[in-house]
Chain A
Amino acid sequence: MTESAARLPMTAKPIVAAKPERNLDRFGVPGWLQAMPFGLVFAAFFVAPLILVVIVSFWDYNDYQMMPAFITRSYVESFDGCLTHFPDCTILRTYLSTAKFCLIVWVLTLLIGFTVAYFLAFHVRSQTTQAVLFLVCTIPFWTSNVIRMISWIPLLGRNGLVNQIFVNSHIVNKPLEWLLYSPFSVALAFTHLFVFFMVAPIFNSMMRIDRRLIEAAYDAGASGWQMLTNVIIPLSKPGVAIGSIFVITIVMGDFITFDVMGGEQIASAGKAIETRLNALQFPPAAANAVILLGATMLIIAALNRIVDIRKEL
């Protein structure tokens, strides 16, 4: 991987550009057969389960089991109070809170990710250095998320390093309580864990920008800032869109980071599903999952209007 991963963006062409090599068609094993095992995994463990989620969301249930039916009980219960007390009901509050985290984490990862990618793509000159630095950004992505969350505890805890420094230097009188198990630590952990999902696609987009365009802009007298806003940012949009989809959908569906970093106090769309599952109430869990899927698809559809994702992968 190493170099290939890092160098991949420079040479990778859009998939659509690499048109299927026609002369391979009549050569060897047919394509559908080669793709079959791969496809079967997704049929059995992704497509069928999703269909089941939709079906079961219309089933009835009691304390012991779920029962085949076609009723909207789970949905009605999920939106309980939304009609009478609009907009103050549990599910709307939960989604609003989740959306707030999505927005904060999206802005943070975008700013950080764009800056890092821009530095790597346009300010590091040697290809080897570029590859190594990109690898440095990638390695944490290959290590455990839970451990990366835990590792904030000694820094942010009540007696953690940050508070020790603050108290000892008399910046604050008593330790700050909002550093850990708070919305702050949740947003920080999300940014820490998933900023790579922003760095990688934006870097990829930037490496595909034809360097002659940059030179042309330079020759035409563009300042560094004009170059950034008029050439680089517009051409990096596909990467930004792909990174945004990753980051936003991850935060939307997350329940573990909210749990571990939020001290089990903060509600989220993903946790709403998990709570129902822990009570073994499958139909309501499924209904919540369908609602979450719908919300996620709306966001992707919105982002897809900005850029054709398929073209850019």
Chain B
Amino acid sequence: MNEGRSLAFYALAAFFCLFVLFLYGPTIVIFILSFQGPSGGLTFPLNGLSVHWFEKLWVGGGIVNIWGSFGRSLELGVVVMILTVVLSLLAGLAFRKRFRGSNLLFYVTIASLIVPSIVTSLGIALEFRLVDDLIKNHGPDWLTDGFHTSMGNFTSGLGAHLTWTLPFGLLVMFAIFNRFDSRYEEAARDLGATPWQTLRHVILPIILPSLVGVGLFGFTLSWDEIARSSQVMGEHNTLPMELQGLTTTVTTPEIYALGAATTGVSFSVIAVALFAIAILRARQSRHGSDAGKA
């Protein structure tokens, strides 16, 4: 395998470039078109360059209440991110030991990835509807007064998002601990560290960059989630749901501006996460011991 680049390499490299163009091309197009002039339409050519549609989006004149759902999605994304990191870390630690039901839990987690989102969404909606009925019919007065529904962004919505982000979180944790050198842990234990000290001073610092990755999955998957959200958000839609509704009703480049802004948030979060990981890794190699290295 050490000969020069073969013809196959160049053919495959060309294919890969086309693939990347396929992946990114359309997104780049709407980025460009979101700077369409005020009289411009949904397609090329560009009628001048302006930030007109971003201004319109910012003022909120054209599209109804987009900032409400923007804020809700952001809050939900942050909460999902934190819970995904914490719960996946705990479960990841648990799976390193033996515990009853670990097989079952593993299969359920994978099933959650595979069962169609609409089915999960329907199930959660049914569950909360039945709970609502229970509360309305049998609940104490202080609860039923003015009670409308227990469904909401941070009850049923949060749960629905977690069934989507946690499996990814767990799989990443598996990958992390597969590579984790448990001799560090044993060394800490031999030196008399308590389990908590081992976790706090040995395990966590080593896996911290990867945990940022888990958080990245948690936020971005929640920020863009739509299929599972569809039945469970109660009265307040999240941003992707609003966006889906707007695809049929908005016929100006404003929707591209909104798309560009949303993707901008995703890209910023990805960039921050990657940057944080790079810094943490650099710090690790700076402070790390070279003991045992050749």
User: Interface of A with B (CB < 8 Å)?
Assistant: 1-5, 8, 11-13, 15, 18, 20-25, 27-35, 37-39, 41-42, 44-50, 52-53, 56, 112, 115-116, 118-120, 123, 133, 135-137, 139-140, 142-155, 157, 159-161, 164, 192, 195, 214-215, 218, 224, 245-246, 249-250, 252-256, 259-260, 264, 270, 273-274, 277, 282, 285-286, 289, 292-293, 296, 300, 309-310, 313
A245 to B111, CA, bound (A): 11
Quick one: given A1-B212, A143-B220, are A41 and B98 in contact (CB under 8 Å)? no
What are the residues of chain A within 8 A of B224 when measuring CB–CB? 142-146
A110 to chain B, nearest CB (A): 14
A38 to B87, CA, bound (A): 5
What are the residues of chain B within 8 A of A155 when measuring CB–CB? 25-26, 29
Give me the 5 closest cross-chain CB pairs, A-B, nearest first: A253-B116, A1-B213, A49-B123, A28-B195, A31-B99
A-B contact pairs, 20 of them (CB 8 A): A1-B217, A2-B277, A2-B278, A11-B178, A39-B91, A41-B166, A52-B130, A56-B126, A115-B19, A123-B8, A123-B12, A137-B23, A143-B267, A146-B240, A150-B247, A161-B29, A224-B8, A253-B227, A270-B116, A313-B174
Contact B91 A47 (CB under 8 A): no
A255 to B118, CA, bound (A): 8
A310 to B104, CA, bound (A): 12
User: Interface of B with A (CB < 8 Å)?
Assistant: 1, 6, 8-9, 12-13, 15-16, 19-20, 22-27, 29-30, 33, 41-44, 86-88, 90-91, 93-102, 105-120, 122-127, 129-130, 156, 159-160, 162-163, 166, 170-172, 174-179, 182, 186, 189, 195-196, 198-199, 209-210, 212-214, 216-217, 220-221, 223-224, 226-227, 230-231, 240, 243-244, 247-248, 255-256, 259, 262-263, 266-267, 270, 273-274, 277-278, 281
Contact B216 A140 (CB under 8 A): no
Give the contacting residue for B19; candidates A112, A142, A249; CB below 8 A. Answer: A112
Contact A8 B163 (CB under 8 A): no
Quick one: given A1-B273, A313-B110, are A153 and B87 in contact (CB under 8 Å)? no
A309 to B111, CA, bound (A): 12
Given contacts A119-B15, A142-B266, A260-B247, 16 further A-B contacts (CB under 8 A): A32-B101, A34-B94, A38-B170, A42-B108, A42-B163, A42-B166, A45-B120, A49-B124, A143-B220, A143-B267, A144-B266, A150-B255, A273-B122, A285-B122, A292-B119, A300-B114
Query: Which B residue's beta carbon lies closest to that of A33?
Result: B94
Give the contacting residue for B210; candidates A1, A25, A34, A50; CB below 8 A. Answer: A1
Contact B120 A50 (CB under 8 A): yes
Contact A116 B15 (CB under 8 A): yes
A48 to B125, CA, bound (A): 11
Give the contacting residue for A38; candidates B90, B172, B247; CB below 8 A. Answer: B90
What are the residues of chain A within 8 A of B247 when measuring CB–CB? 146, 149-150, 260
A208 to chain B, nearest CB (A): 12
Query: Which A residue's beta carbon lies closest to that of B245?
Result: A146
A292 to B227, CA, bound (A): 15
Contact A32 B43 (CB under 8 A): no
Give the contacting residue for B244; candidates A133, A164, A260; CB below 8 A. Answer: A260
Most chain B beta carbons < 10 A, residue from A42, A133, A250, A273:
A42
Quick one: given A119-B12, A144-B240, A148-B27, are A256 and B227 in contact (CB under 8 Å)? yes
What are the residues of chain B within 8 A of A18 when measuring CB–CB? 177-178
What are the residues of chain B within 8 A of A273 when measuring CB–CB? 118-119, 122
Query: Which A residue's beta carbon lies closest to that of B182?
Result: A21
What are the residues of chain B within 8 A of A33 when measuring CB–CB? 94
Quick one: given A30-B99, A38-B90, are A142 and B13 in contact (CB under 8 Å)? no
Most chain B beta carbons < 10 A, residue from A24, A286, A292:
A24
Quick one: given A37-B87, A42-B108, A292-B119, are A12 and B124 in contact (CB under 8 Å)? no
A155 to B166, CA, bound (A): 35
Contact B23 A147 (CB under 8 A): no
A143 to B263, CA, bound (A): 6
Contact B210 A4 (CB under 8 A): yes
What are the residues of chain B within 8 A of A21 when measuring CB–CB? 96-97, 182
